[in-house]
Amino acid sequence: MKNRNVYPFLAIEGQEEMKLALILNIINPTLSGVLIRGEKGTAKSTAVRALAQILPAIEKIKDCPFQHDPKEKHDVCMECYRVDCRGRVIESLNGRQGSEIIMEGIKVIELPVGATEDRVVGTMDMEQALKKGEKQVEPGILAAAHRGILYVDEVNLLDDHVVDVLLDSAAMGVNTIEREGISFSHPSRFTLVGTMNPEEGELRPQLLDRFGLCVNISGISDPDARVSIMERRTHFDEDPEGFMNLWEEDSKILMEKIRQAKILFPDVTCPRPMLYEIASYCLDVGVDGHRGDIIILKTAKTLAAYEGRTQVESKDIEKAAKLALPHRVRRQPLQDIVADVSSIREKNKATGYSS
Amino acid sequence: MSFNHIFSFSAIVGQDRLKLALILNAVNPRIGGVLIRGEKGTAKSTTVRALASLLPGTRMVTLPLNATEDRVAGGIDFNLAVKKGTRTLLPGLLARAHQGILYVDEVNLLDDHIVDIILDASAFGENRIEREGISFCHASDFILVGTMNPEEGELRPQLLDRFGFCVEVTSEKDLEKRILLMLRKENYDADPEGFLSEYQAENSLLSERITKAKNLLKDVGFSDSLRAFVAELCTENNVAGHRADIVIEQAAKALAAYYGKTEVELNEIKQVADFALVHRKRDPIPPLPPDNSHDHNHEPEENREETETEDQEQSPHEPEERPESSESNGDQDVNEQDQQNHGEESHVPEPEPRGENNEQTKKEVLEKIFEVGETFKVRKFTSPKDQILRRGSGKRSRSRTASRQGRYVKSTIPKGSNDIAFDATLRAAAPFQLQRKNNSKLAVILEDQDIREKIREKRIGNFLLFLVDASASMGARGRMAASKGAVMSLLLDAYQKRDKVAMVTFRKEEAFVNLPPTSSVELAGKLLEKMPVGGKTPLSSGLIKGFELLRNHLLREPESRPMAIIITDGRGNVALGDQKPFKEALGLADKMALEQRIQFIVVDSESTGAVSFGLAQKLAVHLNANYFKIEDLKINQLVDIAKGERF
């Protein structure tokens, strides 16, 4: 990926909310993703593709098709079809030299809209079956995306049955394969990033809820900014490497900031009055279920860490609610997803309505 | 599955009814499972998974939505067949779930063919396999636990009835509890293992209590008078079949045992009755509270004949009388329960349009925007299932698809699709490998006769065209509000079935395409709300405009079966040519009816009781269309379920 020319993440003009949402998900992968809604040509896909450059590296077992965390329990490996690798895991349990561990950047795995179910879930390895007469799993996209980012462009156009599969594994963090003669399961926890143009139809409610955060973006209307977008793009097209070098330094600073935030995150606390604030926010606005509360809390803590603080403040909550609630506000069927969460809260408070 | 940390059952905040339902099933598996319905993010799945860890020795088998038939029911063991040439069964999920829990997340999204297998197995308590040259039968008695979000569509009635219990879950509204919930989740995320050990003691206590209750269960008595009471309760709720009676009895026994008692009392029945009734009652009228009904039922000892329910109890897994008709075709959403957001009532209102009195005096063409009238759950419109291979995505009609998309359902001997079902091919070839032993390097030799192809299934969303009469005559006496309500209801239905929609309205002199074909039903809904009414009725123009859209759609997707829903009172008064307007429209209708691929539906907005012209009905005859009054569109649960009616 490194040598291909990718538009630098930081060179994207404006769209601060989208960039912030993506960065927060890098710092804290348990935020479970972002849904980016917006019209055509608003740098949605560019931003996600550019993400790869600023992703931190993680420890991986070399050549592991399931992206296992070397620190994770090894029960999974015991059932793995890769006998050689399994042997090494047993070795390492006995205190000897185990599998080789490498540092590798988090991957962005793209799920094409036309992907078939067997490619997503995984299926039987045809070659092995024919050559050796043995059944083996051929890992699918969900295996590749474990501990990484699963990116779906035009997520609202995804086939229904593929969505079902995503729901299944997003809910459990496990991909269970019970098909085509194969019975196998492996962990699959990914950050789900989707982009969509709402004009082409909305997402199914259940899938909508799986995205931790949601940002609505629109084209920039400030003429200066528009000019600047054009200039940057032209520069990039004419001299990609020169342009990328220009942003190299800033990218490094951002990566360092992300790294610091990751370290700081476990120390961030949320005082009780702030918890009260979160819960009443959700009740005032009227959301389904409890995922909203949980995501706001996580987002607020991540925001604090990103700003180098160890305590959540009320501005974090305000900001977090704007990211975590737009797609969770209870609405009538066929109603639009709200754009401004805090105004709804004000309105509901004023009218004394609360769920 | 230790890589998947499981939340602690005791640490779950609130959801007491759900927890009780699950515990009772653990105590007494004869209750027959739980269906958990509720909005997203209410710990549905979390609670179920936590339960399994609470019950040592109980296996919980997860059925993923993408499972294929061979893994659910079981199939030939490929490895053994290749090496030994024998045909042995490789047991599937149903075998693994025997005497355990079969858990389906988002059970309403499960494919019909898998549902059929599960229904079969759960009806007989055994799984019969007749496939791939194996004939086998094994016991498969499991507790079925499913979760669903009703926003994604309802469950098939037979499957619904299979669940002993149904629990509706909602989120906590109490601030303190919400905070507690966040805190626990936070602690859990920070240190899962430490968190779990904190609740270990509480979990063990609960686990012990369940074990004790299990042992006590056989000693729990159930008096005849209570039986009579249960029977009465079920009758009052209009419950079909006897499963509810049995479930209530078993559940009350379980609860008594859980309380450490050896005799069921009224209190237990009251606590569990709702679990068994909520998804079975057929009456929209809210049931009398149980204690009232008990008053009716004074001296229950007299009702000896009621004890016949006792006989039923012997065979709790006996299949209910299945409505034959809805059997094979099984579209999933016959609506036992209304959706939360609309349609508690089932009568047609004639809402007074609010705009009626405003600006009545203006001389120009009056334009008004009427409210959207009450929405309701619509009855089923499906085109008859056809076997033509088609393309598309959606949920309205089931269809086999030829493009290599859709869910791999099962395999077949080749029919020319070249979409090879590799697993099935291998299984077919496996038993012959010993005879075919060979000099090639491959372990498996495939021959032509082994080849199997995939049958894929996909739900085809239809294309729905709404042709709405927005002329002044529609504004009278709340017709427009009711019509808008009807269209909105149909739109909601379309939304759940992932249909494409388009809308054409006609008023004043001509027809407009308000909404070109789109999947965004939201957009259609918004347009509908803003749609003004007024002017004359250019019926012919509307028909032509609509027909153009439909024909364009058919050109692009010749195999699709679009539906045109025409909402009008039929009083056309603007002609295109020299003919009388209505006559002209009928002539057009005759021609349009020749296009067999389009299904026409005429919804007559003329109110009943008033002087009726029956014009829309005439139009329907000429279009060869289904004809409805607005109120006929509503689903009439009892009638529809009984007749298994569909279009």
pLDDT value at A149 more than 80: yes
Average pLDDT, chain A: 83
For residues B243 and B376, membership in a common domain is answered with no
CA distance B219 to B217: 5
Q: Are B62 and B193 in contact (CB under 8 A)?
A: no
Among candidate residues B317, B337, B318, B336, the one with its CA nearest the CA of residue B326: B336
B442's tokens: 């491959």
B349 pLDDT band (50/70/90 cuts)? very low
pLDDT value at B346 more than 50: no
Decide if A139 is inside a domain: yes
Of B254, B285, B313, the residue that ends a domain is B313
Q: Which of residues 253-272 of B touch A (CB under 8 A)?
A: none
For residues A199 and A336, membership in a common domain is answered with no
pLDDT value at B469 more than 90: no
The CATH number of the domain where B300 resides is what?
Answer: 1.10.8.80
For residues A141 and A199, membership in a common domain is answered with yes
Query: What residue type is assigned to position B50 of the chain?
Result: A
For residues B237 and B157, membership in a common domain is answered with no
Selecting from A159, A167, A199 the residue whose C-beta is nearest the C-beta of B405 gives A159
Q: Which residues of chain B are within 8 Å of residue A164 when distances are taken between CB atoms? A: 65-66, 106, 109
Helix (H, G, I), strand (E, B) or coil at A210: helix
Decide if B328 is inside a domain: no
pLDDT at A260: 93
Decide if A79 is inside a domain: no
CB environment B487-515: b (16+ within 10 A), e (fewer): bbbbbbbbbbbbbbbbbbbbbbeebeebb
Q: Are B111 and B153 in contact (CB under 8 A)?
A: no
Proportion of chain B above pLDDT 70, given as a percent: 72
CA distance B377 to B338: 7
Decide if B434 is inside a domain: yes
CA distance B493 to B647: 15
Average pLDDT score over residue span A250-263: 92
Query: What residue type is assigned to position A330 of the chain?
Result: R
Q: Which residues of chain B are within 8 Å of residue A178 when distances are taken between CB atoms? A: 63-64, 66-68, 71-72, 92-93
Q: Which residues of chain A are within 8 Å of residue B81 when distances are taken between CB atoms? A: none
Q: Are A196 and A203 in contact (CB under 8 A)?
A: yes
Q: DSSP states of B235-261 as a string?
A: HHTT--SSHHHHHHHHHHHHHHHHTT-
pLDDT value at B386 more than 50: no
pLDDT at B293: 38
Q: Which of residues 141-180 of A touch B (CB under 8 A)?
A: 159-161, 164-165, 167-168, 171-174, 176-180
Decide if A241 is inside a domain: no
Cα separations in angstroms, B319 against A2, A249, B125, B324, B337: 62, 71, 10, 12, 22
Distance from CA of B616 to the nearest CA of A (A): 29
Distance from CA of B367 to the nearest CA of A (A): 25
Q: Which residue of B has its CA nearest to A30?
A: B189
B634 pLDDT band (50/70/90 cuts)? low
Instruction: Give the DSSP H/E element, type plus range, for residue B186.
Output: helix B175-190
DSSP state of B581: H
Q: Are B378 and B493 in contact (CB under 8 A)?
A: yes
For residues A152 and A22, membership in a common domain is answered with yes
CA distance B204 to B185: 21
Question: How many structural domains compose chain A?
Answer: 2
Which of A332-341, B29-38, B278-287, B379-388 shows the lowest mean pLDDT across its residues? B379-388
Residue found by looking up tokens 């479970």 in the block: A32
Proportion of chain B above pLDDT 90, given as a percent: 11
pLDDT in tens, B96-105: 888 888 999 8
| Interchain proximity A181–B423, CB inside 8 Å | yes
A64 pLDDT band (50/70/90 cuts)? confident
pLDDT at A35: 93
B386's tokens: 């056809």
For residues B424 and B502, membership in a common domain is answered with no
Decide if B409 is inside a domain: yes
Question: How many structural domains compose chain B?
Answer: 4
pLDDT in tens, B415-443: 766 677 777 787 777 777 777 766 666 77
For residues B451 and B474, membership in a common domain is answered with no
Query: What residue type is assigned to position B468 of the chain?
Result: V
pLDDT value at B314 more than 80: no
The CATH number of the domain where B109 resides is what?
Answer: 3.40.50.300
Q: DSSP states of A320-334 as a string?
A: HHHHHSTTTB---TT
Residue found by looking up tokens 């209801």 in the block: B489
pLDDT at B5: 62
Decide if B394 is inside a domain: no
pLDDT at B572: 82
Average pLDDT score over residue span A328-345: 70
For residues A149 and A22, membership in a common domain is answered with yes
pLDDT in tens, A150-188: 999 888 888 777 888 888 787 778 888 887 777 888 888
Q: Which residues of chain B are within 8 Å of residue A179 when distances are taken between CB atoms? A: 66-68, 70-71, 408
Average pLDDT score over residue span A52-78: 77
For residues A208 and A274, membership in a common domain is answered with no
Of A200, A217, A234, the residue that ends a domain is A217
CA distance B36 to B169: 7
Which of B16-25, B307-316, B428-437 shows the lowest mean pLDDT across its residues? B307-316
pLDDT at B643: 37
Decide if A73 is inside a domain: no
B88's tokens: 């042995």
CA distance B457 to B111: 9
CA distance A286 to A326: 11
Decide if A89 is inside a domain: no
Max avg pLDDT among A11-20, B127-136, B279-288: A11-20
pLDDT value at B397 more than 70: no
pLDDT value at B24 more than 90: yes
For residues B487 and B614, membership in a common domain is answered with yes
The CATH number of the domain where A45 resides is what?
Answer: 3.40.50.300
Which of residues B43 and A25 earns the better pLDDT score? A25
For residues B130 and B50, membership in a common domain is answered with yes
| Interchain proximity B520–A297, CB inside 8 Å | no
Decide if B341 is inside a domain: no
For residues B154 and B93, membership in a common domain is answered with yes
pLDDT at B328: 38
Cβ–Cβ pairs < 8 A, chains A and B: 222
pLDDT at B82: 73
Decide if A253 is inside a domain: no
Largest interatomic CA distance in chain A: 71
Of A192, A217, A242, the residue that ends a domain is A217
Q: What is the extent of the structural domain holding A210? A: 9-56+106-217
B130 pLDDT band (50/70/90 cuts)? confident
pLDDT at B145: 92
Decide if B523 is inside a domain: yes
Average pLDDT score over residue span B396-415: 61
CA distance A52 to A61: 20
For residues B430 and B478, membership in a common domain is answered with no
H-type alpha helices, B416-557: 422-429, 479-496, 521-530, 539-556
User: CB under 8 Å to B223, separation ≥6 — which residues?
Assistant: B263, B264
Chain A CB within 8 Å of residue B619 CB: no
Decide if B593 is inside a domain: yes
For residues B377 and B413, membership in a common domain is answered with no
- Rounded to 10°, the helix B44-54/B200-216 angle is 70
pLDDT at A69: 77
For residues B555 and B431, membership in a common domain is answered with no
pLDDT in tens, A277-326: 999 888 888 887 888 899 999 999 999 999 999 999 999 999 999 999 88
Determine which one of B37, B243, B400, B459 is catalytic. Answer: B243
A187's tokens: 């962990």
pLDDT value at A331 more than 90: no
User: CB under 8 Å to A177, separation ≥6 — which residues?
Assistant: A121, A122, A123, A137, A183, A184, A185, B64
For residues B241 and B180, membership in a common domain is answered with no
Average pLDDT score over residue span A207-228: 88
Of B289, B313, B337, the residue that ends a domain is B313
Please state whether the predicted TM-score (pTM) of the whole model is above 0.80. Answer: no
Q: Which residues of A does the annotation mark as catalytic?
A: 291
Chain A CB within 8 Å of residue B456 CB: no
Which of residues A323 and B478 earns the better pLDDT score? A323
CA distance B473 to B606: 9
Q: Which of residues 84-113 of A touch B (CB under 8 A)?
A: none
- CA–CA–CA angle A318, A320, A322 (5° rounding): 75
Distance from CA of B180 to the nearest CA of A (A): 9
Which of A288-297, B376-385, B562-571 shows the lowest mean pLDDT across its residues? B376-385
For residues A279 and A180, membership in a common domain is answered with no
pLDDT at B326: 38
Selecting from B175, B405, B426 the residue whose C-beta is nearest the C-beta of A276 gives B175
For residues A210 and A273, membership in a common domain is answered with no
The CATH number of the domain where B625 resides is what?
Answer: 3.40.50.410
pLDDT at B108: 84
pLDDT at A312: 92
The CATH number of the domain where A333 resides is what?
Answer: 1.10.8.80
pLDDT in tens, B514-556: 777 776 667 777 777 777 877 888 888 888 888 888 888 887 7
pLDDT at B21: 94
Max avg pLDDT among B232-241, B269-278, B628-637: B269-278
Which of B2-6, B155-159, B229-233 shows the lowest mean pLDDT across its residues? B2-6
Among candidate residues B551, B532, B386, the one with its CA nearest the CA of residue B469: B532
Decide if B347 is inside a domain: no
Q: What is the extent of the structural domain holding B554? A: 355-383+462-643
pLDDT value at B212 more than 90: yes
Decide if A167 is inside a domain: yes
Q: Are B571 and B613 in contact (CB under 8 A)?
A: yes
Of B288, B313, B338, the residue that ends a domain is B313
Q: Which residues of chain B are within 8 Å of residue A283 when distances are taken between CB atoms? A: 173, 175, 178
Which of B71-75, B345-349, B593-597 shows the lowest mean pLDDT across its residues? B345-349
CA distance B344 to B153: 17
pLDDT at B388: 40
For residues B437 and B304, membership in a common domain is answered with no
Average pLDDT, chain B: 74
